[in-house]
Structure 1
Amino acid sequence: MIIKCVDSYGTLVKIPERELRGADLSGLELHRALLQNADLQGSLAVDANMRGAFLQWANLADANFSGANLITADVWHAHCRGASFSGAKMRGVVAEHASFVRADLSGADVCGGTFKNANFVDAICDFSEYDESDFEGAIFSEDTKFPPGFDPIAHGFTLVTDRSS
């Protein structure tokens, strides 16, 4: 499969799916991109427009989505371990069952996002905005960082103390 998108200069860019791992997608126009099950591990997508992108079951481990537009993106069951979403626009994102272990969501706007049963163990969850987000059943650890005044239990999170499983 070939991913076709446009760069910031309006030039058509073609990226073979097998070359997405570690690819530089920064600033690209990936609105509603079909990237289910894609391997984007270690990729750079800084300031990329991935609004409404389909990233279900994708491997996003160690990828950098800093400042990216992920509004209404579907990252259901995505593997986001160690990924950076710092300053990302994630309003309305669907991230049920996603793993954000050791991910950086500092400054991310997650208003209206669905994070049911997501894993935030050891993550930096210092969100800029989080009104109307659903964290029911999401898990966190004592090392997970939240915004000042944010009560994870009141927002539906469950504290995990045994991380052996």
Structure 2
Amino acid sequence: MVLTIRLAGPQDLEPILELQRQAIQVLCRQDYCPRQLDAIVLSQQRARGLSELILLAENEQNLVGFSTALLPTWEIGGVYVHPDYTRRGIATQLLTYLERQAIERRRRKLSVTSSITAVAFYQSLGFQVIRKTKFLMYGAWIPCIEMEKPLTLSPTQPQDISPLLLWCCAFVLVALLLMLL
């Protein structure tokens, strides 16, 4: 399957919400009861587009999946694939793209609060379970798993400079300038 991955725009919100609703209702039904599924759908619909980067996966201009990263933290907000397109590598491609974007921005780790349904997917891509948690959403408790994946910056990328080192350098520079005056 040939995929095109692109940034979402405001015009994409309705198809994103519909794909998300279908993915949650169909793919998560063995892990959550109907009341929990409805609460998840409602809470996720309200969150979409608020301070997040949304990447779309399209096949022949048909939306087949999307992923989100919450900004500025780069926490994964979710990876969703239309139920008719699962097990084709779409979610992996979306998450790999987000991971590359995070590495380019010198992030040292990715984190996600995963549904019970998606834990095995994230683990297959190197995420580790940190802790079990749950959220109260629209009157339903939703069990989730917090997960993280350390990222490796390439040797050609500059490493983060410690804030203390940066302040010391600035102090020395100011002191030198004052001595010259």
- Fold match, TM over 0.5? no
Q: Relative contact order (C-alpha < 8 Å, sep 6+): which is higher? A: 2
| Range of TM-score over shorter length | under 0.3
Normalised to the residue count of structure 2, the TM-score between the two structures is 0.26
Normalised to the residue count of structure 1, the TM-score between the two structures is 0.27
The structure that is helix-richer by fraction is 2
Which of these two proteins has the greater Rg computed from alpha carbons?
2
